[in-house]
Amino acid sequence: MRTSLCDTLGLEYPIFAFSHCRDVVAAVSKAGGMGVLGAVGFSADQLETELVWIDEHVGGKPYGVDIVMPATSAGVDGADPEALLAQIQAMIPDAHRQFVNELMDRFDIPPLPEGERAGGVLGWAEGVARAHVDIAFGHPISLIANALGSPPKDIIDRSHEAGVKVAALAGKAQHAVRHVNNGVDIVIAQGHEAGGHTGEVTTMVLVPEIVDAVPGTPVLAAGGIGSGRQIAAGMALGAQGVWMGSIWLATAESSSAPEHLERYLEATSSDTVRSKSYTGKPARMLRSAWTDAWADPNGPGPLGMPLQNILTAEANARIARSHRKDIAFVPVGQIVGSMNSVRPVRDVMFDLVNEYIETVQGLSAALEG
């Protein structure tokens, strides 16, 4: 399974694990892959705490940080959370607020306890993402990845000066070419099946298109990869490694809420939808009464990023508190259908590598026979 990316980054296996959970990140890196911590949901101070913890638990193994700097989002300026929230709140139409209130009544979700406030995700505002980058550079990271576009040039330059590789997700070959022209070192070709924000083109079609579009640049296959057979398929399509997100949500180290875990274990691969209901951009999640309500042509429809998440922040906090699994926001990819048990990261890694080896050996034997 060794590819040149393993040598570049000091990895045993070219298996990259996106996770918001520091325990998963440290466990994957310790098992020979590369854990990459998703920063978007953290404040700058929280991110510092998480990275200090990883430094103490990763045993000197390489790890990375993922930020979200969208190439396009409604213009909001600054890094101060309160000021950003006030700017965004002022942009939200009353009809949308009323719709959210109606949904809370329709679904019978209790209010938050007195004095409890819901913040919402601000990590995709450029000022906050820049604060994340500043924090990340205070730690021995090996990789910085960006969703939703190339990072700005100054961040790419700063990374290279620090010896940190830059990766960016791409859902189209044109995105990949743009990333490479902007100085990105590794392209993550993420197909339609993926959990989280995702495009229209499937992994099977996207990976070879991107591999051909950016010759000489390492490509990671992402979206729909949850087994050694799927890793072998990604490598057969020309990728130098794989980038996996969903599979870690059902590991023993993951901080997934119990009601989310129940849904991962029972869902089939047909139970996800792409919905703008959480962030304002299409993201894959389990279908629920909430995603249906936002897709209803008689409703107002979702706002864009970053407005939609702030509009629904309190509703999301109320739903999370109610532990109602029929309404919960549960982002995950189509491989949820094969996430049927909870296992430690080390066992998942072991099985991935073994099944990959068996698959490649089987294919070689078929060639000889």
Ligand X SMILES: Cc1cc2nc3c(=O)[nH]c(=O)nc-3n(C[C@H](O)[C@H](O)[C@H](O)COP(=O)(O)O)c2cc1C
Q: How far is the CB of 258 from ligand X (least distance, A)?
A: 16
Q: How would you list the strands of the sheet with 283-286, edge to edge?
A: 196-197, 283-286, 272-275
By CB atoms closer than 10 A (0-12, 13-18, 19+), residue 11 is: buried
User: How many other C-beta atoms lie within 10 A of the C-beta of residue 318?
Assistant: 20
- Both tokens assigned to 299: 């409703």
**Enclosing H/E stretch for 203:** helix 203-213
CB nearer ligand X, residue 32 or residue 226: 226
> Residues 58, 141: contact at Cβ < 8 Å?
no
Q: How far is the CB of 220 from ligand X (least distance, A)?
A: 9
**DSSP states along 53-73:** HHHHHSTT--EEEEEE--SS-
Strands (E), the chain: 15-19, 34-38, 63-68, 143-147, 165-170, 186-190, 196-197, 219-222, 241-244, 272-275, 283-286
CB nearer ligand X, residue 196 or residue 302: 196
CB nearer ligand X, residue 1 or residue 285: 285
> Residues 281, 96: contact at Cβ < 8 Å?
no
Q: How far is the CB of 88 from ligand X (least distance, A)?
A: 18
CB nearer ligand X, residue 48 or residue 66: 66
Binding site residues, ligand X, CB under 6 A? 18, 38, 40, 66, 68, 145, 147, 169, 190, 193-196, 222-225, 243-247, 331-333, 335
| Helices 22-30, 345-368: crossing angle, 10 deg rounding | 50
Q: Which amino acid does the sequence have at 305?
A: M
The vertex-89 CA angle with 86 and 91, nearest 5°, equals: 115
Q: How far apart are the C-alpha atoms of 291 and 289, rounded to whole Å?
A: 6
Q: How far is the CB of 151 from ligand X (least distance, A)?
A: 11
Q: Which residues contact 119 (CB under 8 A, 6 or more apart)?
A: 81, 85, 313
Q: How far is the CB of 280 from ligand X (least distance, A)?
A: 14
Q: How far is the CB of 260 from ligand X (least distance, A)?
A: 9
CB nearer ligand X, residue 145 or residue 207: 145
CB nearer ligand X, residue 68 or residue 173: 68
Q: How far is the CB of 341 from ligand X (least distance, A)?
A: 17
CB nearer ligand X, residue 99 or residue 224: 224
CB nearer ligand X, residue 32 or residue 171: 171
Nearest residue to ligand X on Cβ basis: 245
CB nearer ligand X, residue 99 or residue 290: 290
Q: For residue 190, which phi and psi values (nearest 5 degrees)?
A: -105, 115
Q: How far is the CB of 21 from ligand X (least distance, A)?
A: 10
CB nearer ligand X, residue 234 or residue 302: 234
- What's the Cα-to-Cα distance from 237 to each of 10, 170, 174, 361, rounded to whole Å? 23, 16, 18, 17
Q: How far is the CB of 6 from ligand X (least distance, A)?
A: 20
Q: How far is the CB of 192 from ligand X (least distance, A)?
A: 10
Instruction: Name which of 93, 31, 73 is nearest 244 in CA terms.
Output: 31
